[in-house]
């Protein structure tokens, strides 16, 4: 991510074609071709060689903006074959895990790779993500999504059942986004470094209760569960108000720290 | 953050002495000294050379856990001379800004350096944070907080008025946490690379309205404002419920992308 | 509402045909006719003379329950020609207004009569609602909705502009659900009894700010603005969780009490 | 609640001495005595014979307003010997129960009588509340609170265990605010009229799950559980924002309708 020369849009790279907050398209730039929308088609040749952020008219005269895709664009535009992780949850999972550049992380399950993409983004270039999923077709989707985001080098996708065991050790964090996190918790202490973190994301309360119980049984400390409600504002002088539509629930985030067995 | 050899607690480093979620202490390890709490005192000599995550009894027999401090511990334990940024807001600001390892970021104002600490954590070791504040005493506090977190090398603290202008150019992001963000917005396009992001955090609606208007006037696109409500869960089989106490509001987060002037 | 003899379903009365929480129909019972749904048709003759709460199969064998409509069914099923007031907001408006059986209330604007229906329900049989609207077609809709709920005797619908003045005096409460509440506030003190309440419902923040300013200028005290977020739970052993869909915003509720002019 | 002659403050009645939203005092007017606050003392003789809403200075020159107490003042100022029900929850319980003037309601447990007060307020003068509690000392507190609000005539307090059975029949609603609502649900159908409502308020998720299961087993339909988050706004031109402090959780409200046994 050297930033000094102004970044040009190039063939083979991705752009986020932006029409409005609700209408954005994550597309690959291909010479000589066009991209079709309900507001007319856009020619890629109109943007190649220009700077990201340039304005591009469709054949119907509607103006699009060709933005450089950000992490959250890649996350939100993951091919959805399963429940996606929302950017707000991804952000909190990353924060509570304490990871950063150079961190080594076990993730399970991979799913479509939305969360994997975020984890890889934050630990690159020295860190690594070891991502487990028993479902091969998900791993294939995740690989495509990671490739699109340019992050395959930092991830090892593993077609293995993480409830049986974790191969890695001395990890900075174990991050769980699967149906039965409490079955993975007993394997986490041997995978984690001393004082390492475990973060689990679950939609139901019953999953949370079982996971917290497993964490207590396995000597974890600083166990905490939170939920996060995000609401958009409609901002316009004289008409400002929260938006009517809102996602009321995605999931609970549980975090904990590995500790030595209590002597008490 | 090399992780292979198990991490030992060493003199001069920090530990997070954990008693309960509400009672944690971020302290510097000093040989031959003790740390006093309302649950008795703890001897640092009892932990030096042990692994992070070890259990340490106070002289009253109360067991503490000596955890390795994480980013959010440093953020939350910033010396509070001003309103702190909450970890949830920090996480969302980082996510919406799109930054990661190697990013170059202008931040204003520095305040106690809580958000600066987070930004530096995520862009290290190649990225840089240029953090502005007109208040010298805040910069001194921020410097101490950054030093404690081991992140001074990645931050340039600047005692300058960012509403007059921004020295840097070709930045990946401009991040604002100050009283009058709309006065900084006109300087942001020249500081940002094409398609770069601006993220602003403000407690009041009036600040949001003025900032959004300034962003529209300066050709930004993908302008969005959100707020995030975080609630803790009290998890215990048969008694699980959301906690009674909750922070109802910290601030609104506005994000936007720099774009070329519209020809429409 | 004498309740002693078990209540039978009779011709000309309304029933709430219940299939699921999302699929309910508020219909008038008419001898010899049928009611058509996507799950087949139901014969009214199958329910006439039976008790409310009876089960009625459609011709496709799908079972409906014929419930006695409650206040909130009438409110929620108001013919929607304008933004409806949600039951949660209605409940809070009623509570904050302090009204009850016998209260005398000015309401503006009438709209479809959803809030009017609730107010009349709670003040009957001795109280009265004086409901203003400048739009005649809304008053006609409101009249139909009130008639359906059997509450016309307790309401006087007035086709007048409440921003010009209020005819009534010594009212227990003035309740505002219109675009410019601040234009009505100056007329409220002469309409209210000493210590009477004013409650206003508005979707935007700017409306709230203007209304609160008008209340302060007109010597009101105990001025308070709240918003209420309601979320449904999906309750099933082992799968309990908040629902994904949620209404993020309906409006703000401002309440205040009439007081003598301050001598301070 | 005859409202025509302006209401005067009289000896033996209650006033709400209002200083600010946070500082209000519900006190009985006694001739020749004074009421002491941290802002000086107020003489009752200064208000006797004046209209509610009058301004009364303390001996330190601080101005109080003598408001007529409303339902929610009585609810909120209940002598707190147990967890109180919040006005927002009371409002929603009343709305979901469908009750109004003339309704006949079984309530359990009575507690301090805060919810009882609200129920009595809305069903008077023809309706009745039959309120059960096994704890005699609570019934005594509730009686005092009801007397203060002038509502004793509309309530029958019963020192009985509602989990053993309900004496009444043909009730419009059964309203539960006790630790084990699921033990009362099996008795509710015989207490309720056809199509009558049951509403239960519980702080924990486990209580909700058990209650919903009991409702399903007892042929109730239209079973729904919600929670309500209420947030105050701080309204001032140029500084408007939600308040920092917020109650994150009080309890879940479950409502259901009695129906005949399904033949399906």
B121 and B246 assigned to the same domain: yes
Q: Give the count of domains, chain D.
A: 2
Question: Of all residues in chain C, what percent carry a pLDDT higher than 70?
Answer: 95
CB contact under 8 A, D100 and C193: no
Chains in touch with D (≥3 Cβ pairs < 8 A): B, C
Mean pLDDT of A99-116: 96
In a domain, B155, yes or no: yes
Same domain assignment for residues D40 and D84: no
Q: What is the pLDDT of residue D1?
A: 39
CA–CA gap between residue B120 and residue B127 (Å, rounded): 8
Residues D185 and D251 in one domain: yes
What is the crossing angle of helices D114-123 and D87-97, to 10°? 40
Residue D172 in any domain: the answer is: yes
Query: Final residue of a domain: which of D50, D69, D88?
Result: D69
pLDDT of residue D262: 86
Mutation site, B4, B100, B130, B171, interface A, largest A CB count within 10 A: B100
In a domain, B28, yes or no: yes
pLDDT digits (tens, 9 = 90+) for A170-221: 999 999 999 999 999 999 999 999 999 999 999 999 999 999 999 999 999 9
Q: How far is CA B84 from CA B95, B178, D153, in A?
A: 19, 12, 54
Nearest CA in chain C to D118: C95
In this complex, is the C-beta atom of B263 within 8 Å of any C-beta atom belonging to chain A? Answer: yes
Contact (CB<8Å) B194/A68: yes
Suggest the residue from B242, B250, B252 to mutate for an interface test with chain D (most D CBs closer than 10 A): B242
pLDDT in tens, B9-21: 999 999 999 999 8
Q: Which residue of D has its CA nearest to B242?
A: D249
Residue A263 lies in a domain: no
Q: Note which residues in 30-59 of chain A have CB less than 8 A from chain C.
A: none
CA dihedral B156, B157, B160, B161 (to 10 degrees): 100
CB < 8 Å to C13, chain D: none
* CB contacts, 8 Å: C231 with chain A: 248-249
Q: Which of the listed residues B22, B46, B69 is the one where a domain comes to its end?
A: B69
- Where are the extended beta strands (E) located within chain A? 14-20, 23-28, 34-37, 40-43, 54-57, 63-67, 104-108, 128-132, 155-158, 171-176, 192-202, 221-234, 241-242, 245-247, 252-257
Residue A2 has pLDDT above 50, yes or no: no
Task: Say whether residue D232 is in contact with chain C using an 8 A CB cutoff.
Answer: yes
Interface touch C206/A242, C-beta < 8 Å: no
pLDDT at A21: 82
Beta bridge partners of C67: C16
Does any CB of chain C come closer than 8 Å to the CB of residue D77? no
Domain annotation covers residue B246 = yes
What pLDDT is recorded for position B140? 96
CATH number of the domain to which B128 belongs: 3.40.50.150
pTM of the full structure: 0.94
Inter-chain contact D225–C235, Cβ cutoff 8 Å? yes
What is the reported pLDDT for B3? Answer: 43
Distance CA D79, CA D112 (A): 7
Which pLDDT score, from 0 to 100, does residue D83 have?
A: 57
Residue D165 lies in a domain: yes
pLDDT tens-digit profile of D157-205?
A: 999 999 999 999 999 999 999 999 999 999 999 999 999 999 999 999 9
Give yes or no: residues B77 and B176 share one domain: yes
A247 vs C238, C244, C249: nearest CB? C244
A240 and A159 share a domain?
Answer: yes
If you measure CA to CA, which chain A residue comes closest to C202? A241
Q: From CA D96, how far away is CA D199, in angstroms rounded?
A: 7
Whether pLDDT at B117 is above 70: yes
Smallest Cβ distance to C246: which of A237, A241, A247? A247
Residue in C237, C241, C249 nearest the CB of A249: C241
pLDDT band, very low/low/confident/very high, at D6 (cuts 50, 70, 90)? low
pLDDT-derived band at D82 (thresholds 50, 70, 90) equals: low
Q: How far is C201 from chain A (nearest CA, A)?
A: 13
Question: CA A26, CA A18: separation in Å to the nearest integer?
Answer: 9
Residues D44 and D134 in one domain: no
Residue A163 has pLDDT above 60, yes or no: yes
Residue C80 has pLDDT above 60, yes or no: no
Span C162-211, pLDDT tens digits: 999 999 999 999 999 999 999 999 999 999 999 999 999 999 999 999 99
Q: Are residues C64 and C88 in the same domain?
A: no
Nearest CA in chain B to A241: B205
B64 and B77 co-located in one domain: no
Any idea what DSSP says for residue B250?
-
Cα separation of D138 and D113, whole Å?
8
C243/A248 CB distance under 8 A: yes
Q: Helical H runs in chain B? A: 71-76, 87-97, 114-123, 136-148, 188-191, 205-217
Are residues A203 and A94 part of one domain? Answer: yes
Q: Provide the pLDDT confidence category of residue B84 given band limits of 50, 70 and 90.
A: low
Among D233, D241, D243, D250, which would you mutate to test the B interface (most chain B Cβ atoms within 10 Å of its Cβ)?
A: D241
Whether D104 and D234 map to the same domain: the answer is yes
Q: What is the rounded average pLDDT of the residues B179-200?
A: 97
CATH number for the domain that contains residue B48: 3.10.330.20
- Do the chains contact at A243 and C244, CB–CB below 8 Å? no
Which of C69, C88, C106 is the endpoint of a domain?
C69
Any domain includes B5: no
Q: For chain D, give the mean pLDDT.
A: 93
Cβ neighbours of residue C245 closer than 8 Å, sequence gap 6 or more: A247, A248, C232
> In which domain, by residue range, is B30 found?
14-69
* C61 and C134, same domain (yes or no): no
Q: Give domain status of residue B1, yes or no.
A: no
Nearest-neighbour CA in chain D from C137: distance (Å): 28
Q: Which residues of C touch A240 (CB under 8 A)?
A: 204-206
A58 plus A79 within the same structural domain: no
- Is the Cβ–Cβ distance between A38 and A47 less than 8 Å? no
> How many Å apart are CA A45 and CA A57, to the nearest integer?
12
């Amino acid at each position: 991510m050297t930033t000094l020369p102004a970044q040009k849009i190039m063939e083979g790279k991705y752009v986020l074609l932006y029409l409005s907050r609700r209408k954005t398209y994550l597309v690959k730039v291909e010479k000589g071709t066009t991209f079709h929308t309900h507001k007319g088609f856009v020619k890629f040749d109109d943007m190649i060689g220009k700077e990201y952020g340039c304005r591009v008219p469709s054949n119907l005269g509607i103006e699009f903006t060709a933005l450089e895709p950000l992490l959250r664009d890649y996350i939100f535009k993951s091919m959805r074959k399963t429940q996606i992780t929302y950017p707000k949850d991804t952000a909190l999972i990353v924060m509570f895990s304490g990871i950063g550049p150079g961190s080594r992380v076990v993730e399970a399950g991979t799913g479509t790779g939305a969360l994997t993409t975020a984890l890889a983004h934050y630990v690159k270039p020295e860190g690594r993500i070891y991502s487990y999923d028993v479902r091969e077709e998900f791993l294939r989707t995740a690989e495509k999504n990671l490739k699109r985001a340019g992050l395959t080098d930092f991830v090892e996708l593993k077609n293995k059942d993480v409830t049986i065991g974790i191969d890695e050790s001395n990890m900075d964090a174990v991050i769980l986004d699967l149906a039965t996190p409490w079955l993975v918790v007993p394997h986490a202490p041997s995978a984690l470094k001393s004082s390492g973190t475990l973060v689990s994301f679950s939609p139901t309360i019953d999953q949370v209760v079982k996971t917290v119980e497993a964490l207590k049984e396995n000597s974890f400390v600083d166990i905490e569960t939170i939920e996060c409600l995000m609401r958009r504002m409609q901002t316009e002088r004289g008409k400002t108000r929260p938006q009517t539509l809102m996602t009321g629930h995605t999931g609970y985030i549980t975090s904990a720290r590995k500790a030595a067995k209590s002597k008490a």
